[in-house]
Chain A
Amino acid sequence: MAKTAMPEEKVEPSYLEVSTNKHKKGILSWILSVDHKRIGILYLFSMMAFFTVAVIFGFLIRLELIAPGRTIIDAQTYNQLFTLHGIIMIFLFIIPGLPAVFGNFFLPIMIGAKDVIFPRLNLMSWYMFVFGGLFAVASMLLPGGSADTGWMFYVPYSVRTNTNVLPALIAAFILGFSSILTGLNFITTIHRMRHPDMSWFKMPLFVWSLYATAWIQVLATPIIGITLALVGIERLLGVGIFDPALGGDPVLYQHLFWIYSHPAVYIMILPAMGVVSEIIPVFSRRSIFGYKFIAFSSLAIAFFGSLVWAHHMFTAGMSDTAQFVFSFITYVVSIPSAIKVFNWLSTMYKGSIKLDPPFLYVMSFIVQFSIGGFTGLMLGALSLNIHLQDTSFVVAHFHYVMFGGTGFGIFAAMHYWLPKMFGRMYNLKVATWAWGIVTVGYNMLYMPMFIMGYLGMPRRYFDYLPQFQPYHVASTIGSWILIIGLIIMFTNLWIGMRKGPKTSMNPWGGETLEWKIQTPPILENFHEVPDIHAGPYDYSKYEAKKETTK
């Protein structure tokens, strides 16, 4: 189906050939373009570059841990590597991943608009992203050594260490600002730029999830901005804010840090849930089950997710009442997440399922996200938390949610939408193999961390007792399998993008607006917006056919 290139009636020059500015070709026609699709692609490539670097760091961390004691790097380098791995993965890959790449590209198309409402601001967000990324790189390369605080920059250590904490703080601050501007742009675009026929409940669920995400970006990110700025000021000028030597309270820093950073995990996961909600109906040929529940559960996650931050700090010193309340709300957040999972599964019921690569990644997402979610509840239980806090169980938990969930969501989105973005299809067989290898490697990498964490292996430790070695070896071998899978996957996507067979307008049979326009899309997306009276997931024709054949 996908490989048979259907000749289109008349192919107009796409956005890949026509830019918004006077430069016809070359780098300037890209980095000065305010076209939302070109900006999405700028994000895609800059993000992938940072992702590659952070994967290499992760690989080195795992390699170091294959045997107790020093293996390939010393303890200080190890601390710096896991710090950079965290900062880059979180601020430069997962947070911008889906909204800035696929949100930028598809949000305007999905709501029947020609662009976002503030196109120049959109381009500025990308420049801030790059600029922030450069500061992160600078913190690695400048003399003094890169930051060794962990991505959380906990005081007092982050105020006192002699490494390059300041450039890393500035990087996070600028990247936060970039994220705010993207969120602000999306909220206003969704409110103001929808096609008159596109009512709120006809919006695709990816748009709903971006909407919920954008509100968190706008309302939570300033807190991390000011908090990190204060740490920077404290380092630079010695102003007493958090440092206990000057009367400050480090636990207050932790509160402020998590007031942002917990909602931030929902900035990361919500768009991935939106991608899943797009892909499942298409590959099951079924209308989505419980559209409004999925839409509102995104908003519920955004709301309750903002009230649970202190569950990261149960052992940091808090009143029993506060612990009880935060633990309770943590359990409440799991309800809207579970609503989504059940609705996805119900959508597949009696569907006509096609196991193409995007759907396979979504399957991995559901299983891995569920494991991540359940272990999150274990950590949210006060009694168990004391046992598991600061063990590799926590590391496994958030990698299951962030990588097994969001990371796989990004891979699913790539396999689903890249053919639309570049008009060429990758090799489906290779993609399926890559999915298998990535999934096996991934689970082999993180599953042992649950077990050894439960047995008492602390997180972030350079050295460990010999009894943990079998788990570490399994985990490290898993990392090799994962990286082989990733290389196959990205090579396949890259070759497909460059040389793959041309695809049709709608290779997967989607019903949302992006599948009803030319592939690759033209500069302003539409000459005339297609009919949108039916709603985003109208598969009634397939469903009716099945009823009659029964």
Chain B
Amino acid sequence: MSSTDQAVLQHGHRDDYGSRMGMWLFLFTELILFGGLFIIYAVYRYMHQQEFHMAAQELNTTIGLINTIALLTSSMTAAMSITAMQKGNIRFSKGLIWITIGFAFMFMVNKFFEWSAKINHGIFPGSKDLLAKPDGEILYFGLYYVMTGLHTFHVIIGVIFFLFILRQIKQGKIHSTRYVRLENSALYWHLVDLIWIFLFPLFYLIH
């Protein structure tokens, strides 16, 4: 506390602790946003256990697993980029951010193929094939598209955050003693990762 207070005194409006606190509050709101979807999932899965199980067979666990590994690793590289920045190794830090973005694209490409395969099989909202299925499966795929779609949207936002960070590193606004924006972006990225860790078993690993 005392060190951050000194920082406030020295730099006027700068308050890294406050910035992180704001970010954590924002992450709470994101958790609750997804929390609403998890409630809906829980209710419908309770109502239609068998059909959720059947529908989950359609998903490709391997692609899901690869995506899980990609996101987990990217979370690690994001955390490492902060440490590299703290130690003043800006080039390494930037490299790690680029690797994080690379994993994000890998995730999205996988997701793209996964969705296109589903759509080719006629499983998409409002399709004749889907509407012919029982209620539980319609709900399952509705939630599948909404929840993974919203998650992928968050992946894109995370990438945009990191691109901004790279620009600010280039402009010298982020350096070894001023890196709270990098920290906040990494916090956001961990959230994206965390939510996927819940989505993966809920949709892919139902037995």
Binding site for B on A (CB under 8 A): 115, 117-118, 121, 180, 184-185, 187-188, 191-193, 218-223, 225-227, 230, 233, 237-241, 246-249, 252, 256, 259
Task: Mark interface residues in B64-108 (1 if CB within 8 Å of A CB, else 0).
Answer: 000000000000000000000000000000000000000000000
Q: Which residues does chain B contribute within 8 Å of A118, judged by CB atoms?
A: 22
Instruction: Indicate if the CB atoms of B18 and A117 lie closer than 8 Å.
Output: yes
Sample of 5 A–B contacts (CB below 8 Å): A192-B18, A221-B29, A226-B36, A237-B125, A239-B126
Instruction: Indicate if the CB atoms of B138 and A237 lie closer than 8 Å.
Output: no
Chain A residue at minimum C-beta to C-beta distance from B133: A247
Q: Which of B13, B141, B146 contacts A233 (CB 8 A)?
A: B146
Q: Which residues does chain B contribute within 8 Å of A256, judged by CB atoms?
A: 36, 39-40
Binding site for A on B (CB under 8 A): 13, 15, 17-18, 21-22, 25-26, 28-30, 32-37, 39-40, 43-44, 47-48, 125-126, 131, 134-136, 138-139, 141-143, 145-146
Q: How far is the CB of B38 from chain A (nearest CB, A)?
A: 10
Chain B residue at minimum C-beta to C-beta distance from A114: B13
Give the CA-CA distance A547 to B13 in the complex, in Å. Answer: 46
Q: Which residues does chain A contribute within 8 Å of B136, judged by CB atoms?
A: 247
Give the CA-CA distance A226 to B38 in the complex, in Å. Answer: 11
Q: Contacts A219-B32, A222-B29, A223-B36; is A246 near B142 (CB within 8 Å)?
A: yes
Q: Which of B28, B30, B32, B145 contacts A239 (CB 8 A)?
A: B145
Q: How far is the CB of A550 from chain B (nearest CB, A)?
A: 47
Chain B residue at minimum C-beta to C-beta distance from A252: B43
Q: Which residues does chain A contribute within 8 Å of B143, judged by CB atoms?
A: 241
Q: How far is the CB of B53 from chain A (nearest CB, A)?
A: 16
- 3 closest A-B pairs (Cβ-Cβ)? A247-B135, A238-B126, A192-B18
Q: Which residues does chain B contribute within 8 Å of A187, judged by CB atoms?
A: 21, 25
Q: A191-B21, A192-B18 are in contact. List 16 more A-B contacts (CB 8 A).
A: A188-B18, A188-B22, A192-B21, A220-B32, A221-B29, A222-B29, A222-B33, A226-B36, A233-B146, A238-B126, A239-B146, A240-B135, A241-B143, A249-B47, A252-B43, A256-B39
Instruction: Indicate if the CB atoms of A241 and B142 lie closer than 8 Å.
Output: yes
Chain A, interface SS category: helix
Chain A residue at minimum C-beta to C-beta distance from B130: A240
Residue among A192, A238, A239, A246 having the largest count of chain B Cβ atoms under 10 Å: A239
Residue among B17, B33, B48 having the largest count of chain A Cβ atoms under 10 Å: B33
Q: How far is the CB of B172 from chain A (nearest CB, A)?
A: 20
Instruction: Indicate if the CB atoms of B29 and A192 lie closer than 8 Å.
Output: no
Q: How far is the CB of B198 from chain A (nearest CB, A)?
A: 15
Give the CA-CA distance A249 to B26 in the complex, in Å. Answer: 30
Q: Which of A121, A193, A220, A226 contacts B37 (CB 8 A)?
A: A226
Q: Which residues does chain B contribute within 8 Å of A193, judged by CB atoms?
A: 18
Chain A residue at minimum C-beta to C-beta distance from B21: A188
Q: How far is the CB of B123 from chain A (nearest CB, A)?
A: 12
Q: Which residues does chain B contribute within 8 Å of A241, judged by CB atoms?
A: 40, 139, 142-143, 146
Q: How far is the CB of A449 from chain B (nearest CB, A)?
A: 33
Give the CA-CA distance A233 to B144 in the complex, in Å. Answer: 13
